[in-house]
Chain A
């Protein structure tokens, strides 16, 4: 279960970086088949693997590991509400261009409310 979730995030981060499985695998010194198995959650991922992948994809380790429903707001030190947490969780799964599109949409909604 845990490996499947981490694997999905590896795939997301890899696609976000615009890399194919072959490209990322060769940078990490894995075979493409091994990376594919990690992304599908079929192989056991050791902490050292996740660290290496996080470094290569320029992500924080917590991006792959955090499963919390309650995410901490760094500035306020208070838990975010569920809707914001859900939005942020879903947002992190989207590719960059989708995020740009959503940003436009949110700005449009904000302007309409003014």
Chain B
């Protein structure tokens, strides 16, 4: 049998996340988006820590909430509906904890997972992308050289969410670039380690509440016990982590699209032209109809991908499909919403232009939509 109802636990998390998003995110969204300086607002971390939301996917044994992937998707939608920029810092942390929970040994989990849990929780990050290695992960050049009981890391990572803010990072480096994917390794690196510094912070189109930037490794010493999994299994670790985290991208897109749709629906009912609300024109109501239909479709695909992950089955195809469909749907919905509001939609008095700028990032990061299409087409 098949059912689309969330269970009691999931409904409880949905309600909690919705209240949190309304009270602790929405009031700050516009201000954090508009500021010109790129100083990170630590208030974000304090508020999320209070609700233990940074530890959403961390098993309860290590202090987290330990929810399944479907519940995480439900929560992600709610947070993104309030502000994708603010929720970006949280998603960046989840990527690192997702990876660590997946392949970390007991000692590594005990040392690092509790750091993002509870009232004093800190941020974390996943560092894969490099200036010359984006989609082609096997082209990573950050070098890890074994020296006794340590590895020495040298290289530069770019477009890293939470760069310079993380208590720890999961970093991908190669022991020999000629080995391509066969030489990749994942390490847990402390954020305050000597030899690690923050490079340039990006001035981005959207997601302006999040700090994204470069991480530079200069003869950084990582203890060998911080190697994740087995030596030279970094490629599998990275692929698995991104595969599992991908439906959250879909859920984020659904959240932003939902907010844009709600603004447009509200406006279309209130705005009067020719003596009647503009929603009474089919040109407008059909736009809203299409938006609602596409949001619902994207949500179902996202839930299916998350459900497949929770079942332990291969979810690669559904994960990629939900990212492609939901993130492109969200851009269309934001554009339509702006059109429904006309000139007002184009102004900063309304949040729609921010939604559009924010949502564009989802099509690009954590595997571009073009890469997702390659994954899907290889499985057809």
Please say whether chains A and B are actual partners in one complex.
yes
Q: Which residues of A contact B (CB under 8 A)?
A: 1-4, 37, 41-44, 46-47, 50-51, 61-62, 65-70, 72, 79
* B178 with A2: CB separation less than 8 A: no
What are 23 A-B pairs at a CB distance below 8 A? A1-B316, A1-B375, A1-B378, A2-B236, A2-B240, A3-B314, A42-B313, A44-B315, A46-B102, A46-B103, A46-B240, A47-B103, A47-B237, A50-B236, A61-B232, A62-B182, A65-B182, A65-B236, A66-B181, A67-B235, A68-B138, A68-B181, A72-B179
* A69 with B375: CB separation less than 8 A: no
* B179 with A61: CB separation less than 8 A: no
Q: Is the interface of B mostly helix, strand, loop or mixed?
A: helix
With CB as the reference atom, state the residue of chain A lying closest to B228.
A47
In the assembled complex, the Cα of A15 lies from the Cα of B375 at a distance in Å of 29
* B240 with A44: CB separation less than 8 A: yes
Contact of B178 among A42, A50, A51, A79 (CB under 8 A): A79
Task: Name the A residues within 8 Å of B176 (CB-CB).
Answer: 72
- The 0/1 profile, CB within 8 Å of A marked 1, for residues 235-273 of chain B is 111011000000000000000000000000000000000
* A68 with B314: CB separation less than 8 A: no
* Interface check B230, CB cutoff 8 A: yes
* A47 with B378: CB separation less than 8 A: no
* B230 with A61: CB separation less than 8 A: yes
8 further interface pairs, Cβ-Cβ under 8 Å (given A37-B313, A68-B181): A4-B379, A43-B312, A44-B313, A46-B103, A61-B230, A65-B232, A65-B233, A67-B181
In the assembled complex, the Cα of A42 lies from the Cα of B312 at a distance in Å of 9
B110 to chain A, nearest CB (A): 17
* Interface check B180, CB cutoff 8 A: yes
Contact of B229 among A4, A42, A47, A79 (CB under 8 A): A47
In the assembled complex, the Cα of A67 lies from the Cα of B184 at a distance in Å of 12
B337 to chain A, nearest CB (A): 36
**Contact A2/B233 with A68-B179, A68-B182 known, Cβ cut-off 8 Å:** no
- The 0/1 profile, CB within 8 Å of A marked 1, for residues 52-72 of chain B is 000000000000000000000
Chain B residues touching A, range: 20 to 34
With CB as the reference atom, state the residue of chain B lying closest to A40.
B314
In the assembled complex, the Cα of A39 lies from the Cα of B309 at a distance in Å of 18
Task: Name the A residues within 8 Å of B182 (CB-CB).
Answer: 62, 65-68
B214 to chain A, nearest CB (A): 28
Task: Name the B residues within 8 Å of A46 (CB-CB).
Answer: 102-103, 240
Task: Name the A residues within 8 Å of B179 (CB-CB).
Answer: 68, 70, 72
A43 to chain B, nearest CB (A): 6
* A47 with B312: CB separation less than 8 A: no
With CB as the reference atom, state the residue of chain A lying closest to B103.
A47
In the assembled complex, the Cα of A43 lies from the Cα of B102 at a distance in Å of 15
In the assembled complex, the Cα of A41 lies from the Cα of B316 at a distance in Å of 11
* B236 with A47: CB separation less than 8 A: yes
In the assembled complex, the Cα of A1 lies from the Cα of B320 at a distance in Å of 11
* B314 with A44: CB separation less than 8 A: yes
In the assembled complex, the Cα of A70 lies from the Cα of B178 at a distance in Å of 7
Q: Which of B179, B181, B237, B314 has the most CB of A within 10 A?
A: B314
Task: Name the A residues within 8 Å of B378 (CB-CB).
Answer: 1
In the assembled complex, the Cα of A43 lies from the Cα of B233 at a distance in Å of 19
B135 to chain A, nearest CB (A): 14
Task: Name the B residues within 8 Å of A41 (CB-CB).
Answer: 314
With CB as the reference atom, state the residue of chain A lying closest to B378.
A1
Task: Name the A residues within 8 Å of B229 (CB-CB).
Answer: 47
Task: Name the B residues within 8 Å of A72 (CB-CB).
Answer: 176, 178-179
